[in-house]
Structure 1
Amino acid sequence: MKTVKTLLVTALYLLFIITSDAQKIWPEQTSQTKPWTRWWWMGNAVNEKDLSASLAKYSQAGFGGVEIAPIYGAIGYEKQYIDYLSPAWVRMLDYTVATAGKLGMGVDLTTGTGWPFGGPQVTPEYAASKMIIRRYPSLKTGDTIKLAKDDETLQSLTGYAADGRIVDFMDKVDENGFLQWRIESGVWDVYAFFNGKTKQKVKRAAPGGEGFSLDHFSAPALKVYLHRFDTAFHQRSHGVRAYYNDSYEVYGADWTADFFEQFYKRKHYDLQSEIRSFYRKDSSETIARIKSDYREVMADLILNNFTRPWTQWAHQYKAISKNQAHGSPGNLLDLYAAVDIPECETYGSTYFPIPGLRRDSADIRNVDPDPVMLKFASSAAHVNGHPLVSSETFTWLTEHFKTSLSQCKPEVEQCFLAGVNHVFFHGVTYSPEAVKWPGWLFYASTNFVPSNSFWPHLPGLTNYITRVQSVLQTGKPDNELLIYWPIYDIWNNPKGNEITLKVHDIDQWLHPSAFYGQVVNLQKAGYSLDFISDNLLNNAVAKDGLISTSDVASPYKVLIIPASTMMPLGTLQKIIALAQQGATVMMEALPEDVPGLIDVKERRIELKKLLASVPFADNGIAKMGKGQIILAPDMQQALEQQGIRREALTDAGLKFIRRKAGADTYYYIVNHTPKAVDQYLPVNASAGTFIIMDPQTGDYGKAATNNTGVKIQLQPGEAFMLKATKDTTLQAWTYLDKSSAPIALDSSWTLQFTEGGPFKPAPVTMPSLVSWTTLPDTMTHSFSGTGVYQQSFILPATNAKEYVLDLGEVHESAHVWINGKDAGILWSIPFKARIGKFLKPGKNEIRIEVANLMANRIKYMDEQKIPWRRYHEINFVNINYTDFDASGWKLQPSGLIGPVVITPYM
């Protein structure tokens, strides 16, 4: 018989093994693996006491850092405003950084207020510019025209005669702005080109940040803009981790003062002689080519005159750069790759067919986030070897006060699946504790604020994200395909001037493309991939049959060229060179033409020569040097023929992303389908052991395998990590296979209302579970907060290996205690938890704390005309950008609806 001492030693040894395994199984969790949040400073009306209190709350809720975004202020608090970048403001920044540091948190800072970049230092000379073209038709001898305007600068004056003569008239303009010239003969069309100003000012500017928007194409303008920061910061670092730039929203900015010179330098022809191409409305090939050249130069200017020097400026302050490239008139991949942390954005909500996931058409915007759009940021990071990809997440996910934590989960999972591994919430608003409920709020936010009724349960979401990101920040991405993005097909368009590649316009510039179709089909088939631009492809090399895009990036097995019309000669030459070095290149179709205007005939001839030099055999394969180019109208068939394996788990409807960490491979696997998955599924990674890791709870165990694959059980809405590693002696994962008769907790519940308001309803006994808004006490109609349900139940003695608690219908999240022990936060679908370790035979006690939405309390306040939204600028609008008013809302169901059951698994 074992002694007590022996049993104690054994127990301690097992505890050590379990603790040791946990340390090895889950990567280290740091402030960087935690979610961060955008933090609006309204009016910069901050003080040390409330800054400290706020940061402490955010830390406790699971945030790893904040991103300060100064914004317009609340009415009535003007005396507390602090001018942006004033000495007092810089002191508040320093205090924030120091306080956050003591809490193990980081601080990022937008390089501006509101958006886009701009402010009082941006004089008209450096403000966003636009081209203005005026036509003076049918001018004859003796005609005089007045050209000059106070806010416009004449840059070009060109006459076109009926006989084909083109004359520069700039030297005929007098000092008063009049064209003084007696035309010798004929009738002329005269085009005057002006550098005008958009006159756009910073949107949602904070005090001290008001002014014109910046000209993002001008190097001198950026230098003037950043000089204000240099002066305020006294050229020293203030502990900011990253400087941030929001999505490009500089409306109508399609010019800069020296564009003619910059264009000639790059394209070697005079754009002034082609200026009527920007005036005419026809759709000729020549105009399309001129505008393609113009757009390419714009892309080069925003990359080299703004994005790269701004990043270098951040580095001077011992910080990094974080940038949202989308919306800009540039090559998104190049712009994302030029910064340290590329950041994408989710705007609106996605439809997921997960049973029970609430989605009211009246409470969502008609915008669906597209995971392909998100991959532009992650692809740029992966190709350049940058470790972090961030996302502005949950912007306008639903109407204010109606967003549940369960709705957040699949949306953030879609980001993870697209390669994001550094989530930023949108967001949190700084609010002094003295401001009454609901505190200060930002109009486009999901309101992850302490006044939100789901705040006590927010750690459920933040802990989940932290565990997922701890894995997705480990090692390197493991993607086998590299897909070329043919941007010249987008630029070769005779319509309009600048083309801003916006999230809201993807149905115009992204969805119709062959590139998009290939990406969607390949991912659905189970392939992992990244995108690459012409510029980034130029850095690639092939070695040992793999394609390397940087010294620190993971290599790729295949370069895929989707069907495209326009391709630069340099790109085709690079593709051929990669094949000769040993790469496998698959082309859906051969390019048809070259972009741009100059020497187009000669370049077309060279294109045909290059294509003719590729020795395609009858099977569509051209062996070249050490590699090959494959003409592949059916891309998936070609990949299979080349032995490029897909992940067949997508056949079950599952989605995944894969990371490689040394000899280990991690899979993040998600079930967004309406059906449960319970089967053995093949995975490509080979390993001695597969480990299931549950990011909801942190639990883990050795997965079951057979000759067909790994056993995967996922309910709709669930996700887990699968780690392929060497052999371990880890405990087996408990699968939920054979269930026995469920135990229904259908006796009476006591319900007591705890935190919340505006009134606290009296405790009640509920014979059956219903929404608390249907109870006789009318105080429950307006109550937003937490209600605690309690019941005792008898557990029969069984030999079950696990018990699963199913809460059924929950509005909107729950925290469960069983026999006084914390059984976890159930905040997402399915509202289930494994609770066997908390139960005992006989009598058990269960306590369920349920939080509802803020909506019913806001409805009450608007019905009673209790003021709570008084802000400058846009004030507070609803999801359709009209005045917010909740008085006509229906009551939102609240509380535990059930049925609540416990199912034993044998």
Structure 2
Amino acid sequence: IIAGEIIPDFISPSGKGKVLHRRVGFRDVYKVMDAPLNEECFFRAKGKVELWNAWTGEVSELAVMQETKDGTFLQIPNPPPRSSLIVFSPGEPKVALKDSSEIETHLSETIVLDSVWSCEFIPTMDNRWGDFRLPATNEMIGVEARELQYMPVIQSNDSWNKPADEDSWPLVRNTFGPQMYKLYVGNEIDFEDFIDAAKKSLADNKTVKLDNKEFVWEPYEFSWRWGVLDQPGSQGWHGLKGRVDDRFLILDDDGHFIFRTTLIVKKDTETRMLIKGEKPECILINGKPIAGNEIRLRGGTNQLIVAFRNIRGKGLEPGRGLTIVDNRPRSSVVFVSADEYQPVGSHPLEMEWYGHPGLLLFDFFENKPLVGYYRFLASPGLQGMHFKAFGQVECLIDGKPVTLQSNETTRDDGTNEYNLALDKTHSFPVWVDFRVKHIPGYYGGAAFPEPIKILTGTGKINIGDWSKMGVLQHYSGGIRYKKTFNLTARQSEGRVTLDLGEVIATCELLVNSKPVGVLINSPFIADISEYIQPGTNYIDLLVYNTLSNQYQTTPSPYKGNPRSGLEGPVEIKISYQEI
């Protein structure tokens, strides 16, 4: 009864519409949400009606369908999820035509634009203060290759002998590579039997057989800078705290663990062993237990075994939100030259061993003559590259050899620096292949201590999710899409609407070099009638994504969804008014 006596502020016949209504001075301001486009809704207000565009500041008058003693009926001008800011002011309303001579608008034509667009990259990550990568660098971080497909091959000659079935090559990330083998058994296995069986399996690198069970040596990878991939150690609440755990051996279950690898020195060398975290039950060098921290390694290859007994491995514990609390037992065992055993100190986000001049590297492949084949799909507009690598590098672009410019001497960090400037721009994405003559200890992604910087010009891109387009998977920034379309004189006289389809995340639109506006949510539709002309018209669309793509290679629980770019379909819709 009471509800029937009260006139609502707003009525949506579909029941979908919602409003926020405020009386501001002499105006009634309605923010209308979720009401269907053109739905005739009731507003408990009267007077002149305007649509205020919150993005452009434009004000346009709205025609009302009817005005009663209680309020006004008018059609909703924007489709969901776009809201409408409708303002009533004192004055006479504009009334929509209702007789037989009413102007009718109907869709007449749709022009579907093809999927290939011209593109340019607009980097946005200014790293002068180290906001996106440490140490800080005076650069805008643009397109980079951070993950590459990889296949190692034992090969002593200098010819290209790339393995087949390239699509099956696993992905590796820069700085991360195989360092050791890991073997795990449960506590039900006798530890001494475990050690003996493991030592016997070293000659042929086969499985370990114990109690009628087979246990497999698994490659164990980490980065001397970042530690274990995406497992930097417990950070506390809400993600990263600028720390990387120096203990790179993760003991993640109840039972016994063995890690094995080789240490290679050119001559007999006095070394010091440094242990952090969980203390191993035993450490073997060339099959013999060692005591104390000062060890003399023989020149050549030295087999290292690090074994842990009866570990009580804690799992990862859920924290607040997406945060994971990592309290798993960890350890590290490293060898450094006896005269340079002190840690050199570390920067945030790197292990203390990173860049240590006396560190003896682990050689996963036991000093075999090895080359690594790498490949990645470059971005559109490829003009060149700049990168550092451990080892000599040869390169193919689109299957053709190119000459890399290299410094003649090795840098202090042991890397070679390479530059490539192409004679022509590759408009469409092409495959880049590397052949790296490996240096022991730098396999997989570890051969590249930094991302490979891609130098770009104007290219051609197919609309779609750019996070699925090779190296663009990790690109956070902008892409300027450009396209032309033609209109006849008759078409240019109609109401012309540009429908961009799906866009992630925001875009700025220009037509014929005139700014149309900024679109931040769907529907990504703009009336471009006042900007078009007969003949050739130019679309300039600047699309920015989010930092999610950058975060995909950061050990953060807040990686987000990397979906990015102009997905379309893109259509020009033309309608005409008829009396």
Q: TM-score with structure 1 length normalisation?
A: 0.25
Quick check: which one's helix share is greater? 1
